[in-house]
Amino acid sequence: MNKESKLRIHNVTAKEVLKFGSEAWVLKKGEKQRLEATQMKFLRHLLGITKPDKENNRCIRGETGAQNKVKKIKQYQEKWLPHVQRMDTNRIPKQALQYKPEGRRNIGRPRKRWRDQFHFEDQGKGNTPNPS
């Protein structure tokens, strides 16, 4: 198979499989690294580049025209937030977004919630989305 055919298959299948269900993910640092490593492993294999070749990720992405998967997932999540906000209140995604648990929290650092990732990223910009 030539490079263009392999890249077309990657765009249709592998990219969508990696993105499946990502609108509700809370991406942590380790998960972001694993997603990027998975994408780069496929692209290296597609071009026939091995690790000992010491090829830069930016060069590989430029050669294939692929974008960073983590950035695409974040854009997808940002598109999903207004969609959930427009939903009726009886829909499960809207209820999950508005849910506020009662009672005491567990000891330790609070877990990062889905809506928190937008709040912290946009905090310095002054355009924090309203999750209500």
Number of H helices, E strands in the chain: 7, 0
Across 122-132, average pLDDT: 48
119, pLDDT greater than 80 = no
**pLDDT number for residue 128:** 45
**pLDDT tens digits, one per residue of 67-80:** 888 888 888 888 88
